[in-house]
Amino acid sequence: MTEKEKCANGLLYNANYDKQLIDERISAKDLCHQYNQLKNSDSEGRDVLLKKLLGKTGQNICIEPSFWCDYGYNIEAGENFYANHNLVILDCAKVVFGSNVFIGPNCSFYTASHPLNVKQRNEDLETAHPIKIGDNVWFGGNVVVLPGISVGNNTVIGAGSVVTKDIPDNVVAVGNPCRIVKNIDQ
């Protein structure tokens, strides 16, 4: 089994010495760099690069520079996706955003996880767990979403939160660790 196949199956894998994964990351980061250098007025060029980089997008997508990801092809964004400046998505596994998702500045979505076992960690092993974000979700600034997390529809994640557990539909959740503070009546 290749390192990429191990990753896709949620197994320990080594991304640091696998030529295929290294080449894919370099390609994605080159596209991110190119994207981040475009003028804000070049909306057509930005759209072309995002559609080339990301696995799947809706028609209406905007990611303000700077934007960085590991592979790009593992990211899916629905209609009306907006991310403010300094978005980081470590997409070793799938990261799927629904429609009408709004992300504040300086937010990060991490699918990569490293072993607690020091021997495995020092061997550069890691695992990857997908992130799924529902429709109509708003993330305040400086939010971090950890591996394997799902966030439900119509939910608000408050600024500065670290999302360590799944968050259901129709709630406001805040804090570190992120916890539900209010239900939202629809």
Positions annotated as catalytic residues are: 114
CA dihedral 48, 51, 53, 54 (to 10 degrees): 160
Distance CA 165, CA 114 (A): 17
Query: Under DSSP, is residue 20 helix (H, G, I), strand (E, B) or coil?
Result: helix
Peptide bond into 115 cis (omega under 30): no
Q: What are the start-end ranges of the E strands in the chain?
A: 13-14, 56-57, 61-63, 67-69, 75-77, 81-83, 87-90, 95-97, 102-103, 108-110, 112-113, 125-128, 131-133, 138-139, 144-145, 150-151, 156-157, 162-163, 171-174, 179-183
